[in-house]
């Protein structure tokens, strides 16, 4: 019997027994409280106090029950019951998400970049047209090579045909790159317009607060959150656009490199055929046209073909310079954005908050500049 008494004391002193006993006490109290005589004399303050006294005990009981059934939830199929549903896990903070916004720095880097690459795109479009005109001259060379007495005429003609295809591909690629750059400007303009409208609306809501009437540079928490979220959206869109343009520029750079390699093959074939011909690759096709097209000197297209072919090497060099410049500019912007992203991921220095007006003004200036650049680029395309 003493052993039984000891076990009873142990059980009664356990937390589970304490909670269970308290719960039974509460139930008894509620039964007495809600009995007919008591219910008639029950006043609001008394019931209010009873509610606040009962709620912690109910919450403790629910927690006790959840912990008790937790092992049963490991049974396959038990997870579909509500009592076994896992509580929502706490989200870990995203350290890449900006803690504050810096639209002035972002817009400055963005405008500077697109101003440069729009110039490069315009130059690339002009060169692609020149390459298109040179295709006819190169096609005529293929005919002359096939009719010539050269020992390697079939191989040379086939190589020049491949060169023509590569030149056509390079010219089309330059036009495609220019179109994608123009489309990127339109896309970024649209994103900036969205940012301007969103921040302006947040500013209007902030101006209605009493604190803003005292300090025009006051940042309400909700307004600051809107600006930071909008800044993150603009950064994400710009990063995506820049990444796509970098990939496209690298593709066109590879096309121009392939064009140079094909011209080198033509150069080697001709040198094996006639060592007296020019060693300069840039004048190779023009000299070949001069030697093989002497019977067509009376034709009007002889001189024009000679000029196009003699400048073909220069066309490729110019196109290469424009693509490399655009690629360098895009990568520079990508680096600038990474610096901005790292800076805004850190807590902002005290007293260094950028007011609504500064964000709005910088976006407005950026939009005006992008629109002007786009109009100018379209004018040069005509």
What domains are there in the chain, each with its CATH number? 2-84 (no CATH), 103-381 (1.20.1170)
Q: What pLDDT does 238 receive?
A: 92
> What is the DSSP track for 21-87?
HHHHHHHHHHHHHTSHHHHHH--HHHHHHHHHHHHHHHHHHHHHHHHHHGGGGGSTTGGGSGGGPPP
Tokens of 305: 């073909």
Q: How far is it, in rounded angstroms, from Cα 379 to Cα 382? A: 5
pLDDT per residue over 191-218, tens digit each? 999 999 998 888 887 666 544 444 444 4
Q: What pLDDT does 248 receive?
A: 92
Q: What pLDDT does 11 receive?
A: 42
Q: pTM, whole model, 2 decimals?
A: 0.63
Listed ranges 6-20, 50-64, 260-274; the one with the highest mean pLDDT: 260-274
pLDDT per residue over 177-194, tens digit each? 888 998 999 999 999 999
Distances (CA, A) of 68 to 16, 65, 84, 285: 10, 5, 11, 88
| 273 and 152 Cβ atoms separated by less than 8 Å | yes
């Amino acid at each position: 019997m003493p052993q039984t008494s000891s076990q009873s004391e142990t059980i009664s002193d356990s937390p589970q027994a304490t909670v269970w006993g308290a719960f039974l006490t509460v139930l008894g109290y509620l039964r007495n409280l809600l009995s007919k005589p008591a219910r008639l004399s029950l006043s609001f303050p008394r019931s209010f106090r009873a509610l606040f006294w009962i709620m912690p005990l109910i919450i403790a009981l629910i927690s006790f029950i959840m912990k008790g059934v937790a092992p049963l939830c490991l049974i396959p199929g038990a997870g579909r019951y509500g009592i076994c549903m896992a509580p929502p896990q706490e989200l870990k903070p995203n350290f890449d998400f900006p803690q504050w916004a810096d639209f002035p720095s972002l817009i400055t880097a963005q405008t500077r970049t697109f101003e440069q690459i729009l110039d490069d795109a315009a130059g690339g479009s002009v060169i692609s047209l020149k390459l298109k005109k040179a295709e006819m001259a190169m096609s005529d060379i293929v005919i002359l090579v096939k009719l010539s007495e050269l020992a390697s005429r079939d191989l040379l003609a086939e190589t020049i045909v491949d060169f023509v295809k590569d030149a056509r591909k390079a010219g089309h690629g330059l036009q495609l790159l220019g179109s994608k750059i123009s489309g990127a400007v339109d896309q970024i303009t649209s994103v900036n317009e969205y940012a301007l409208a969103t921040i302006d609306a947040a500013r209007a809501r902030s101006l209605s607060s009493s604190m803003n009437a005292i300090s025009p540079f006051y940042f309400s928490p909700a307004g600051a959150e809107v600006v930071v979220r909008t800044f993150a959206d603009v950064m994400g869109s710009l990063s995506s656009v820049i990444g796509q343009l970098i990939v496209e520029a690298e593709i066109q750079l590879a096309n121009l490199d392939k064009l140079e390699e094909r011209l080198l093959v033509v150069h080697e074939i001709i040198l094996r055929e006639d060592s007296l011909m020019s060693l300069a690759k840039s004048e190779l096709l023009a000299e070949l046209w001069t030697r093989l097209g002497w019977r067509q000197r009376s034709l009007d297209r002889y001189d024009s073909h000679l000029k196009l072919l003699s400048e073909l090497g220069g066309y490729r060099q110019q196109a290469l310079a424009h693509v490399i410049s655009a690629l360098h500019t895009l990568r520079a912007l990508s680096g600038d954005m990474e610096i901005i992203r790292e800076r805004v991921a850190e807590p902002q220095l005290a007293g260094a908050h950028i007011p609504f007006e500064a964000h709005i003004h910088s976006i407005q200036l950026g939009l005006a500049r992008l629109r002007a650049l786009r109009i100018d680029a379209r004018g040069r395309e005509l």
